[in-house]
Structure 1
C-alpha cells in the first residue's frame, strides 16, 4: 500500500478479543507489505552475509597469486555492495510504510470508536488511558508490526548462513548451527522480569498522564481555591515514580543488551580460535578461515534484530491489550464488531433510518418522552442522570451491556446506522465543550435549516455573550491596529466573527452553557436531550431560557434533565426517576401536590404542600427559585 492511499477508505473491523489477536489482525491487514519487507530484508542481510565469502576469495587469490581470481572476487564484492545498498534502502522504505499504515489504521479505528461513544467514552475509560492509547501505545504496537518482518528476514538469513557454513566447512558449520540458537534463547529467562518492569512503568505513566490531564482541565478551579501547589506536589510525586520505574526497566534492558554483546563476542572468539587451529593443522585454508570469521561476525546482526523484536513484543503486548479494551467498547447494545442487532428491538429500520415524529422510550428505566412535547426528567443523582441521558442518545449500554436499546418510534437506536441515530437524537452533555474558532464556526453544524443562528442565540439568551465577544474582538482589533480608529470600527463589527478561545475558557460557565445550548438548538434534531442546560445561570435568565426553549422546540421532542422549578413548570410532562426507574409522571404542580418524593428533590422538603394553597402559588412562591437560592452567574 502506498502512503498516498492514506487515510484508509475503510480501516476494517479489528479483532479485539485480546491484544495478541489485535496484533495478528494488524499484520494480516497488510500482507503485501509484510512479505515485501521480509523479502527485501533477506536480500539485505543475505548480501551482507555473502560479503565474507567474497573477501575470503580475494584473500585466497592473493595467497595463490591469481590475478583472475582477484578480479572475480572484486566484481563479486561490488555486486554484493550494490545489492546490500538496494536491500537496505528498500527494507527501510517498506518497513516504515508498514509502520505508518498500521498507525493510520489504529488511529482511524480509535477515532471511529471515540466518535461512536461520544461523551460516554470518558465515563467508561479514564481520559489518561485514552490519551496513552492514542499516542504512546499506537507507537509501540506499530513498532512490533514493523519489526516482525525484519525478524522473519533475520531468521531466514541465520538459517541460510548456518546451512552455507555446514556445506562450506562442516566442523565450523555445526558449531555455528548449535551455538546461534543457544545465544538467541539465552536472554529468555530475563524477559518476564523485563516485562513486569515495563508494565509497571506503563501503569505509572498512565496514572501520571491522567493526573496531568485532570489538573489541566481543572486549572481554573484550582486557582480559585489555591490548590495549584497541592496538585503540583501530587504530579511531581507521580512523575518521580514514573522516573524510578523507568530506571528499573532500563537497568533490566541494559543487562539484556549487555548479554547480547558479551555472549556473541565470546562465541566469536571461540569460533576463531577453533578455526585458527584447523588452519594451523592444514585442514582449512587462510581464505576459508577469513570467510568463516566474517560469516560468524555477520550473525551478530540478526541476534541484535532478535533482541529488538523481543523488546518490541514486550512493550507492544500490553499496549495492544489496552488498545483492544478501548476498541472493544460499544455503544448501547451494539456489538463491537459493528453488528446492528440489539436485543429488545421491537421495530425495524430501513434505509431511510428512523421514523419521524415518534416517541422516545427507554425499556430499562420505563422513561417515555411523547413525540413533539417538552418532557422534563427529575433525577436526584446527577451521575445517574448523565448516564440516562447518554443512554437516551444510544451512547451507553446498560449495566451488563446486554439490556434492550432505547426505542424511537418503535425502532431501536442501535439497529440503525450511527450517523442516522446521531442525526435523530442529539444529547447535550452536562459539561459541553466549545472548540476554538469564531462564533460563526461554532454554530456552523449539521442542521435542518429550520432554526437560524440568530433565533437560537436569542432563545438561549446569549445577548450579553455577544456583547462580551464583540468587546473582546474590538479590543484585539485595537491592539493590532495602527491607531484607535481600528478599535472603534471593531466595536461595531459582527460578533459572529469574534473568536472563542479553546474550550471557551475566556467565558464564564453560564456563557459557555448558553452558547452550547444555542448550538444544539441550531442543529434542530428530531429529539433533543439536554442534561442540566441552565445549571450555571441565574434564575431570571433561566426563566427566559425556559420560555425560549419551549417556543423554539414547539412540535419537536425535547427531554430536559433538571430539578429547576422554572424549567419544570414550563414542561408538558415531568417524569421522576429513582434508582434507575421512572416512578411517577405528570405535571410539575400536580406532582408537587401529590408526590412527597418529588418534593424532596425539587422543593428540598419532605412534608406535603398545604392543600389550601392555590395551585398557582405552589408553582411560584412555594417552589420558584430566588436569585439568592440559585446564585448569580459566575463571570470570573
Structure 2
C-alpha cells in the first residue's frame, strides 16, 4: 500500500509533452523498471513456448524418446508457472505505474492551484482545471500502463526473430522486416486519430467547464429563471462532444480493422512460407509447429505497438493540457533572495494609497470606490507580486513581496468577500489543521454570531458540509467563514465585507465580539466595510478617495468633519446596505462616542 501524497520529484519539465512524460518516467523509474522486467519475463516465456513444443516433437515424439519428451514437457510446465507469476507481477506493476503517473500529475496540478493565486482563474475556467485532473491525468497514466507490455513485446520480438533465424534465414528476414513494416502501415490510420482525439479533448473540456459554471451559479439561475438557457447550452456542448467522440471511435475502429488486416496478411504469408519449406524438407515437422506458434505470438507485439501509439497520442494531448496549466506564471512566489519578516508586530504601509495599518487594535478602510478598498486589501495580503513590485507594500522596514511567502501566509490572513467552503465536517471546515479544541472552535463561532447555524446541525461539529456550503444561506456561509478566519489567530487579519449578508442585530453582536476577541496588541484587524455598525467599533478608520488616503480618525470624527465619508457611509440616499437610516447612523456614532468615554 502506497502513502499519498508522493514526495516531491522536483520541478517538472514543461518544455514539451514528451519531456514532461519523460520527467514522470524518471520520477517512478523504480516501479517502471520492475514493470519492464516482469513484462519481459512474461513475453519471453510466451516466445519460448512454441520453441519448446517444436523441440518436444522433433526430439521426443518423432524419435520415440520418452526421456527427451519428459524433459521438454517438464520445461514447458516450469515455463508456464513462471509465466503465470510474471503476468501477475507485471499487471500489478502496470497498474502501479498508471496510478503513480496519474496521481502525481493531479498532485502537482493541485499544488499549482493552491500557489498560483488569481493567475489560473484568469486564464482557465474551473471546469478546465478539473478536467486536467479528472481526465488528462488518467490519459497520461495509460502510457505507463502499456510501457511494460511494449518493452516485453520488443524483447519477445527480438527473441523470436533469433529463434526463427535458427530454423530458416528466409523466415527470419520475414519476421525481422515484416513486423516493423506492419506497424508502420498503421500510421496512416493513427494520424487522423491524433487530430480527432485532440478535438474530442477540447470539446470535453468546454463541456466540463460549462457544466461546472452552471452548477456553481445554479441558485442564481433558478432565481432569475435562466436555467433553461444554460441547459440548452450544455446540451449543445454535449452534442459537440458526442460527435467528436464518434469521430474518435471511427478512427479506433479503423485502427482495429487495420490491425486485423495487416496482422492477418503477415500471419498467412509467414505460415505459407513455413509450410512450403516443411514440404520441401528444409525444416522439420516440429519446427513447422513452432513456426505456427511464432505466427500467433507475433500478433501480440504488433497489436501492443498499435495500442501503445494510440495511448501515447492521448497522453501527449493530456500532457499538453497539463503543461498549459503548470506553465501559467503564479501570481505569487518566493523571490530568489528574500528578506526576513519582522520579528514583532509591525505596521503595514501601502505606497499607493498612503494607508498605514498600525500594529494592534481594530482598523477599518472605507472607500468612495469599493473596488479600490478591495485592491488595497489584496495588496496587503500579497495576492499578486507583480502589482507589489510597482506598488510597494512595506511590512516593518522591508518590502512585503520580498519576504518568505510561507511566513507571510501564516501571519497575514485575508478573508475575501465571497469565501469558499469545502466538503468535510464542520470541524474540518473551521479548523483544517486540527490545532484547536472544540471549546476554542465554539468560542470562534460565538464571535461570528453563528451559534444558530451550529444549533441547526444535528451532528454539531461532526455535521457534513456540502461542496461550497450550498446547504447554508449566504449569511450563514459568511459567518462560518468569519469563524474560520478568527480561528487562524493571524497576527494580521484582513476582513473584506465580513457582514454584508447578515442583519443589523447580528452585525452589532459581531462588531462587539470581534473587538473583544481581536482587541490586543498582538493582533491587528483591518476591516474593509462601509457599515456604520462595524465602523463604530473600530479604533481608527481610513477614508479613501480615488484610491488615496483622504482622511483618518474615529468613525464619529469622520462623520462630523468629512462630508464625502458621511455620504459613503449613509449610501447617499439615507439608507445603507442593511437598511439603517441616516438617523440610525448618527445614533450609532453617538453610542460609540459614549462607549469611548466609558473606557
Which consecutive unaligned segments of at least 5 residues does structure 2 have?
583-599
- Deviation string for 1:574-593 (max 9, x for gaps)? 25375xx6575645775997
Match of 1:409 among 382, 396, 420: 396
After superposition, the Cα gap between the structure-2 partners of 1:159 and 1:413, relative to the gap in structure 1 and judged at 3 Å, is farther
The separation in 2 between residues aligned to 1:291 and 1:303, in whole angstroms, is 19
After superposition, the Cα gap between the structure-2 partners of 1:246 and 1:437, relative to the gap in structure 1 and judged at 3 Å, is closer
Match of 1:434 among 421, 438, 445: 421
- Answering whether residue 142 of structure 2 is matched by residue 143 of structure 1, we say yes
**TM-score normalised by structure 1 residue count:** 0.79
Q: CA deviation at 1:246?
A: 0.8
> 1:466 is matched with which residue?
451
- Deviation string for 1:142-193 (max 9, x for gaps)? 2112322332222222223223322431001111111111111222233332
After superposition, the Cα gap between the structure-2 partners of 1:243 and 1:381, relative to the gap in structure 1 and judged at 3 Å, is farther
Q: Residues 551 and 558 of structure 2 are in contact (CA less than 8 Å); yes or no, is this contact kept in structure 1? A: no
After superposition, the Cα gap between the structure-2 partners of 1:428 and 1:39, relative to the gap in structure 1 and judged at 3 Å, is same
Q: CA deviation at 1:284?
A: 2.0
After superposition, the Cα gap between the structure-2 partners of 1:52 and 1:191, relative to the gap in structure 1 and judged at 3 Å, is same
> 1:508 is matched with which residue?
473
Q: CA deviation at 1:93?
A: 1.8
> 2:258 is matched with which residue?
259
The separation in 2 between residues aligned to 1:130 and 1:254, in whole angstroms, is 30
Match of 2:359 among 348, 371, 378: 371
> 1:152 is matched with which residue?
151
> 1:50 is matched with which residue?
48
CA RMSD of aligned residues (A): 3.6
**Superposed, which structure 2 residues align to 1:336-485 within 5 Å?**
340-341=334-335, 348-349=339-340, 354-361=342-349, 368-372=356-360, 374-376=363-365, 378=367, 380=369, 382=371, 389-398=377-386, 407-411=394-398, 418-435=405-422, 442-444=429-431, 452-453=440-441, 456-460=444-448, 462=449, 465-467=450-452, 469-470=454-455, 472-473=456-457
Q: CA deviation at 1:314?
A: 1.0
Q: Residues 110 and 327 of structure 1 are in contact (CA less than 8 Å); yes or no, is this contact kept in structure 2? A: yes
Q: CA deviation at 1:357?
A: 1.1
After superposition, the Cα gap between the structure-2 partners of 1:247 and 1:590, relative to the gap in structure 1 and judged at 3 Å, is same
> 1:482 is matched with which residue?
none
The separation in 2 between residues aligned to 1:33 and 1:122, in whole angstroms, is 35
- Deviation string for 1:95-119 (max 9, x for gaps)? 2222233334334333333333467
The separation in 2 between residues aligned to 1:318 and 1:571, in whole angstroms, is 57
**TM-score normalised by structure 2 residue count:** 0.83
The separation in 2 between residues aligned to 1:46 and 1:273, in whole angstroms, is 25
The separation in 1 between residues aligned to 2:513 and 2:481, in whole angstroms, is 15
The separation in 2 between residues aligned to 1:274 and 1:330, in whole angstroms, is 61
* Partner SS state of residue 51, structure 1: helix
Q: CA deviation at 1:525?
A: 0.7
Match of 1:558 among 501, 525, 531: 525
Q: Which moved more, 1:227-236 or 1:294-303?
A: 227-236
After superposition, the Cα gap between the structure-2 partners of 1:379 and 1:253, relative to the gap in structure 1 and judged at 3 Å, is farther
* Partner SS state of residue 188, structure 2: helix
> 1:609 is matched with which residue?
none
After superposition, the Cα gap between the structure-2 partners of 1:437 and 1:186, relative to the gap in structure 1 and judged at 3 Å, is closer
Q: CA deviation at 1:28?
A: 0.4
> 1:488 is matched with which residue?
none
The separation in 1 between residues aligned to 2:490 and 2:246, in whole angstroms, is 54
Q: Residues 518 and 525 of structure 2 are in contact (CA less than 8 Å); yes or no, is this contact kept in structure 1? A: yes
After superposition, the Cα gap between the structure-2 partners of 1:139 and 1:272, relative to the gap in structure 1 and judged at 3 Å, is same
The separation in 1 between residues aligned to 2:220 and 2:306, in whole angstroms, is 48
**Superposed, which structure 2 residues align to 1:68-217 within 5 Å?**
68-117=67-116, 121-217=120-216
> 1:618 is matched with which residue?
none
